[in-house]
């Protein structure tokens, strides 16, 4: 539901409305975002405002005059993938001719914007007559069947997520092992003969070529598969419809992309993307069909609506966490903390069930793969190994040390996020073409290999070789029977490096090695997050933290003359928790994930202490990484609470007005014109009483959605046809479910001139009891109602039950707490 234009004539039956402040529009051009590409034929229809990207430019009063008086103007619309940096005050014709062919060198971007491109999900059930009739027909046994189906779907989500995790793990292990062996043999050969620069070249070329393939598939086929996918899933669970986010194509690109980026030696992990993969699997299975493959299996039809789909996606995200870390409880808490706005007890049980099944599947298959079939000891993709609490307990005097580590983690996390913020801004502005994005990814891969090589070459940290301690020991310039300690950190997948930092005996690492590694890896990981590759930030954060944590532990050993409690492995764990908490700012779920991954409850309190300290310190400086990326994409994300200082604002000031209303019995031509009007891409229309007397108050009767109107027009549900002798099948709820989620665009529906004169009766299809608020309601009250119930539209009425405005997600997300108090963001079609 995009904001209505105050300067446009309201259509036929627009209810009288007061005019509140319009949102201030920014003179910005289109920017590349999570889904910035030309739309293909199978994409979602323009119902969501995504497919008619109007550049809301500056009107006559955009540069001067008071902000409240600025009118809204729309320049001619451009297609999504094409970027325009034209001055929006230019002549219309110039805009039309130049924009499509021109790739600008810079795209202006302002983070104080909200995009009109993102729509809300319809989490609230539309309780129209069709819905109520169907629910009344379903008896107790049928409800039991539906409940059993929910459990079956959750089990399938768990099994498939576990299988995908196994596939990623095994392929990465095989390919990375092959690459490390080739490079190691090459280095060994050239160490004897001289000419090690060839080895460097080989390593850099191998890395770049693998990353190039991984980046090409993401940049050119499915850009939404870039990154870890956690910000997108957070948005989806918050109620925002992110285009393409739960597509089958996205899953395939995500899985292939994450394998290639980890094998390509980038400073990334494969754990984050598992959460996105689990969510896509859940969205696919719960619908019982694939719209991408155009196959309908005729099962689970009852669940074809946003309400059910979003609940299953939260189960999929939890199963992803569970498969990644072997932490089913952590998965449930992740979904609760990071995602779902709406929560109930049954949902918790089902999500926990999906998480458990996911861990069990992964565990079983990996135990067979590793040759010990009945030993279920590798529950997740990353297994931190067991921390023995008898040897590694902690004492009272260590608690202040842990708090100090939390502070360090918070500061380093804030630095990481601030650097990544500026880097992402630079990318949005300058590196917006897919070919540039691929070149950047290849450059990062080559630099990562070069940095690793130079550090191994310069390091003189030789350690005695023990049985099974190192997978790929590299001798280089060390004596026989010794290996280069720096090489083990680079000649391993990041997961293995984390485990070795946790568990290698004291004395395995030189402080200089750890210091250099932390510094280099910090900047590499920061540069890598945000590249156009599928990759997570969990493992790099843990690795940076484990390295400086171990360094911290070694310095404590020196300072306390080798006290028994100062074990470097224990401090590596605390450092890892502090660093990860400082970057992503999750507290509850992360504490439990770390406890489950280490298999040790003893460390629960210190881990919680470290994470809370890191979050408090980090939040003082800058937002968490995921929230920052959501903000940079201008997503209308609703936080848990309304801004604390917003009690002075009322619904009248916040709402969109005037509102396009429809009469209960409306002319078909009017409906078609309203839906075809590209200047106002509304998705919800209040229905008012059709009264012949213009003086009579047109009270609110219900609310109908764009998608419902499109289905009615497609099936030609007109009053005249019903009254004539044409035998017409009565529309059922199944017809709406079959059209979900990609409703046809209005342009594809042909309505003849005669049909335009017919009438439509909306009584049966509208929601007769939409949620409403009086115009005097305060913003926090409106916010609470909207967010807790997962609404898409909230009708604002006056004392006579007359529609005066409509509150949507963007109206509420516009207000946020900034450095100087309450800020109002601008709305723009970015």
Report d(CA 351, CA 345) in Å as an integer. Answer: 10
Q: Is the pLDDT of residue 657 over 70?
A: yes
Handedness of CA 406, 412, 415, 420 (dihedral sign): negative
Q: Is the pLDDT of residue 6 over 90?
A: no
Q: Is the pLDDT of residue 810 over 80?
A: yes
Report d(CA 722, CA 730) in Å as an integer. Answer: 9
If we measure between CA atoms, which residue out of 405, 735, 458 comes closest to residue 574?
Answer: 405
pLDDT at position 746, please? 82
565's CB contacts (< 8 A; 6+ apart) are 393, 394, 395, 398
Assess contact for 828 and 26: CB atoms under 8 A.
yes
Pairing relationship of beta strands 665-667 and 759-761 according to DSSP bridges: antiparallel
If we measure between CA atoms, which residue out of 41, 46, 39 comes closest to residue 677?
Answer: 46
Which of residues 826 and 543 earns the better pLDDT score? 543
pLDDT digits (tens, 9 = 90+) for 422-458: 999 999 888 888 899 999 999 999 999 888 888 888 8
Q: At 602, is the pLDDT very low, low, confident or very high (cuts 50, 70, 90)?
A: confident
Classify the phi-psi angles of 158: left when phi > 0, otherwise alpha if psi is within -120 to 50, otherwise beta.
alpha
Assess contact for 239 and 120: CB atoms under 8 A.
yes
Assess contact for 441 and 223: CB atoms under 8 A.
no
pLDDT digits (tens, 9 = 90+) for 240-262: 888 888 888 899 999 999 999 99
Kind plus residue range of the DSSP H or E element containing 115: strand 113-115
Average pLDDT, integer, range 340-362: 85
Report d(CA 268, CA 258) in Å as an integer. Answer: 9
Cis peptide before 658, with omega less than 30 degrees from 0? yes
Average pLDDT, integer, range 27-49: 41
Q: Is the pLDDT of residue 459 over 80?
A: no
Average pLDDT, integer, range 666-677: 87
DSSP codes, 682-707: --EEEEE---S-TTS--BEEEEEEHH
Report d(CA 155, CA 525) in Å as an integer. Answer: 35
Q: In this prediction, what percent of the chain has a pLDDT beyond 70?
A: 81
Q: Is the pLDDT of residue 700 over 60?
A: yes
Q: At 24, is the pLDDT very low, low, confident or very high (cuts 50, 70, 90)?
A: very low
If we measure between CA atoms, which residue out of 24, 61, 122 comes closest to residue 815?
Answer: 24
pLDDT at position 564, please? 67
Query: Can you give the C-alpha Rg of the chain in angstroms?
Result: 29
Q: 511-528 vs 434-458: helix axis angle to the nearest 10?
A: 180
DSSP codes, 411-434: HHHHHHHHHHHHHHHHHHHH--SH
Q: Is the pLDDT of residue 329 over 60?
A: yes
Q: What's 830's DSSP letter?
A: -
> 3-state class of 802 per DSSP?
strand
pLDDT digits (tens, 9 = 90+) for 51-99: 333 323 333 333 333 333 333 333 332 222 333 333 333 333 333 333 3
pLDDT at position 759, please? 84
If we measure between CA atoms, which residue out of 229, 168, 215 comes closest to residue 382?
Answer: 168
Average pLDDT, integer, range 92-110: 46
Phi, psi for residue 125 in degrees, rounded to 5: -65, 140
pLDDT digits (tens, 9 = 90+) for 740-797: 877 888 888 888 888 888 888 888 889 899 999 998 999 999 998 988 888 889 999 9
Q: Is the pLDDT of residue 26 over 60?
A: no
The first and second tokens of residue 385, run together, are: 């190994």
The first and second tokens of residue 104, run together, are: 């600008």
pLDDT digits (tens, 9 = 90+) for 175-184: 988 888 888 8
pLDDT digits (tens, 9 = 90+) for 373-412: 777 766 667 777 777 655 667 788 888 999 999 999 999 9
Average pLDDT, integer, range 123-128: 83
pLDDT digits (tens, 9 = 90+) for 461-483: 777 777 666 667 777 777 777 77
Q: At 645, is the pLDDT very low, low, confident or very high (cuts 50, 70, 90)?
A: confident
Q: Is the pLDDT of residue 49 over 50?
A: no
Assess contact for 29 and 106: CB atoms under 8 A.
no
Report d(CA 812, CA 816) in Å as an integer. Answer: 9
Report d(CA 638, CA 643) in Å as an integer. Answer: 10
> 3-state class of 482 per DSSP?
strand
Whole-model pTM: value is 0.83
pLDDT at position 390, please? 58
DSSP codes, 690-758: --S-TTS--BEEEEEEHHHHHHHHHTT--HHHHHSS---PPP-HHHHHHH-SSPPPGGGS---HHHHTS
Report d(CA 410, CA 615) in Å as an integer. Answer: 6
Q: At 725, is the pLDDT very low, low, confident or very high (cuts 50, 70, 90)?
A: low
pLDDT at position 100, please? 39
Phi, psi for residue 229 in degrees, rounded to 5: 85, -10
pLDDT at position 89, please? 35
Assess contact for 501 and 518: CB atoms under 8 A.
no
> 3-state class of 795 per DSSP?
strand
Q: Is the pLDDT of residue 160 over 50?
A: yes
Handedness of CA 80, 86, 90, 93 (dihedral sign): negative
Q: Tell me which of 123-137, 576-590, 718-732 is least confident.
A: 718-732
Q: At 352, is the pLDDT very low, low, confident or very high (cuts 50, 70, 90)?
A: very high
pLDDT at position 697, please? 61
pLDDT digits (tens, 9 = 90+) for 498-511: 888 888 888 778 88
> 3-state class of 797 per DSSP?
strand
Q: 604-621 vs 399-430: helix axis angle to the nearest 10?
A: 40
Report d(CA 584, CA 332) in Å as an integer. Answer: 17
Average pLDDT, integer, range 193-209: 84
Residue 197's CB is within 10 A of a number of other CB atoms, namely 10
Highest mean pLDDT among 4-18, 228-242, 385-399: 228-242
Which of residues 123 and 108 earns the better pLDDT score? 123
Report d(CA 449, CA 205) in Å as an integer. Answer: 9
Which of residues 530 and 113 earns the better pLDDT score? 530
Report d(CA 782, CA 588) in Å as an integer. Answer: 28
Q: Is the pLDDT of residue 738 over 80?
A: no
Q: What's 338's DSSP letter?
A: I
Pairing relationship of beta strands 240-241 and 119-120 according to DSSP bridges: antiparallel
Highest mean pLDDT among 75-79, 525-529, 634-638, 645-649: 525-529
Q: What is the mean pLDDT of the chain?
A: 79
């Amino acid at each position: 539901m995009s904001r209505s234009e105050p300067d446009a004539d309201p259509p036929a039956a627009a209810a009288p409305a007061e005019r509140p402040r319009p949102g201030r529009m920014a003179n910005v051009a289109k920017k590349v975002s999570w889904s910035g590409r030309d739309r293909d034929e199978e994409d979602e229809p323009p119902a969501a405002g995504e497919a008619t990207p109007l550049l809301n430019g500056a009107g006559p009063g955009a540069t001067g005059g008071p902000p409240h008086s600025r009118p809204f103007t729309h320049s001619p619309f451009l297609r999504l993938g094409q970027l325009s940096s034209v001055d929006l005050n230019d002549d219309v014709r110039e805009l039309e001719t130049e924009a499509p062919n021109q790739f600008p060198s810079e795209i202006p971007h302002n983070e104080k914007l909200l995009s009109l491109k993102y729509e809300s999900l319809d989490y609230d059930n539309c309780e129209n007559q069709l819905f109520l009739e169907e629910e009344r027909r379903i008896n107790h046994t049928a409800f039991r069947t539906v409940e059993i189906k929910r459990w079956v779907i959750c089990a399938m989500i768990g099994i498939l997520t576990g299988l995908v995790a196994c596939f990623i793990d095994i392929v990465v292990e095989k390919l990375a092992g092959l690459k490390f062996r080739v490079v190691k043999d090459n280095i060994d050969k050239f160490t004897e003969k001289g000419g090690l620069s060839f080895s460097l070249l080989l390593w850099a070329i191998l890395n770049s070529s693998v990353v190039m393939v991984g980046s090409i598939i993401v940049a050119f086929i499915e850009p939404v598969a870039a990154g870890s996918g956690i910000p997108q899933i957070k948005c989806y669970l918050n109620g925002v419809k992110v285009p393409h986010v739960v597509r089958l194509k996205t899953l395939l690109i995500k899985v292939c992309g994450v394998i290639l980026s980890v094998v390509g030696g980038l400073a990334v992990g494969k754990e984050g993307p598992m959460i996105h993969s689990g969510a896509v699997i859940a969205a696919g299975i719960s619908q019982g069909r694939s719209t991408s493959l155009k196959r309908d299996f005729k099962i689970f039809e009852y669940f074809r609506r946003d309400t059910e789909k979003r609940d299953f996606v939260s189960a999929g995200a939890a199963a992803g966490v569970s498969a990644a870390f072997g932490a089913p409880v952590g998965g449930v808490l992740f979904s609760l903390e990071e995602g779902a706005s709406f929560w109930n007890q049954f949902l918790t049980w089902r999500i926990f069930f999906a998480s458990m099944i996911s861990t069990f599947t992964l565990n079983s298959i990996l135990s067979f793969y590793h040759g010990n079939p009945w030993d279920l000891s590798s529950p997740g993709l990353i297994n931190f190994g067991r921390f023995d609490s008898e040897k590694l307990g902690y004492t009272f005097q260590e608690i202040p040390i842990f708090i100090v580590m939390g502070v360090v983690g918070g500061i380093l996390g804030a630095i990481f996020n601030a650097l990544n913020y500026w880097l992402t801004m630079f990318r949005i502005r300058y590196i917006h073409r897919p070919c540039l994005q691929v070149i950047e990814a290849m450059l990062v891969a080559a630099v990562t290999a070069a940095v690793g090589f130079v550090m191994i070459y310069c390091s003189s940290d030789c350690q005695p070789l023990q049985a099974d301690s190192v997978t790929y020991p590299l001798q280089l310039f060390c004596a026989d029977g010794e290996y280069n300690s720096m090489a083990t950190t680079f000649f391993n997948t990041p997961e293995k490096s984390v485990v070795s930092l946790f568990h290698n005996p004291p004395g395995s690492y030189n402080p200089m090695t750890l210091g250099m590694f932390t510094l280099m890896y910090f900047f590499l990981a920061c540069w890598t997050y945000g590249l156009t590759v599928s990759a997570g930030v969990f493992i790099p954060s843990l690795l940076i933290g484990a390295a400086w944590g171990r360094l911290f532990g070694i310095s404590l050993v020196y300072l306390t003359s080798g006290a028994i409690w100062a074990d470097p492995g224990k401090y590596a764990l605390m450092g890892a928790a502090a660093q990860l908490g400082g970057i992503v700012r999750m507290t509850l779920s992360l504490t439990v994930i770390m406890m489950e991954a280490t298999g040790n409850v003893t460390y629960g309190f210190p881990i919680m202490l470290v994470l809370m300290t890191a979050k408090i310190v980090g939040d003082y400086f800058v937002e968490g990484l995921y929230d920052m990326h959501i903000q940079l994409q201008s997503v209308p994300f609703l936080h848990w609470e309304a801004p604390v200082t917003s009690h002075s604002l009322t619904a009248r000031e916040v709402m969109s007005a005037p509102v396009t209303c429809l009469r209960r019995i409306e002319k078909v031509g009017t409906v078609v014109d309203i839906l075809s009007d590209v200047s106002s891409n509304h998705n919800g229309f209040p229905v008012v009483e059709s009264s012949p007397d213009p003086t009579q108050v047109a009270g609110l009767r219900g609310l109908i959605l764009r998608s419902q109107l499109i289905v009615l027009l497609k099936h030609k549900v007109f009053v005249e046809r019903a009254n004539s002798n044409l035998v017409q099948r009565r529309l059922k709820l199944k017809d709406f479910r079959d059209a979900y989620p990609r409703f046809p665009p209005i342009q594809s529906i042909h309505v003849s001139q005669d049909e335009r004169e017919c009438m439509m009766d909306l009584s049966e299809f509208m929601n007769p009891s939409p949620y409403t608020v009086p115009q005097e309601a305060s913003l926090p009250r409106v916010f609470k109602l909207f967010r807790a119930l997962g609404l898409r539209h909230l009708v604002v009425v006056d004392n006579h039950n007359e529609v005066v405005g409509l509150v949507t997600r963007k109206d509420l997300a516009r207000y946020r707490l900034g450095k100087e108090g309450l800020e109002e963001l601008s709305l723009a079609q970015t």
